[in-house]
Amino acid sequence: VSSLVAGKVVEQRAFATDPGKGFVAVQLDNGLTVVSAHISYGERAAGQLDELASWVRTRVARPVVIGGDFNAD
């Protein structure tokens, strides 16, 4: 259970297109990165998902878990 593993916040970001939405990433001491995201519904979602994916691709060592509220149908 990852909640029993210590870690630190490595990124906390609000999306410019909707400051009420964004993501937080925590690097756990066991090597797992956990990202929790809140994505807008509608036309802003694609850009926010691209921003999140770009950050993960360039900044996160594997393994990574991404979850959250994606406001998808």
Residue position matching structure tokens 């993501």: 23
Reported as a single tens digit per residue, the pLDDT across 13-52 is: 999 999 999 999 999 999 999 999 999 999 999 999 999 9
Question: Residue 68 and residue 56: Cα distance in Å, rounded?
Answer: 15
pTM (2 decimals)?
0.87
Question: Residue 62 and residue 27: Cα distance in Å, rounded?
Answer: 10
Provide the pLDDT confidence category of residue 72 given band limits of 50, 70 and 90.
confident
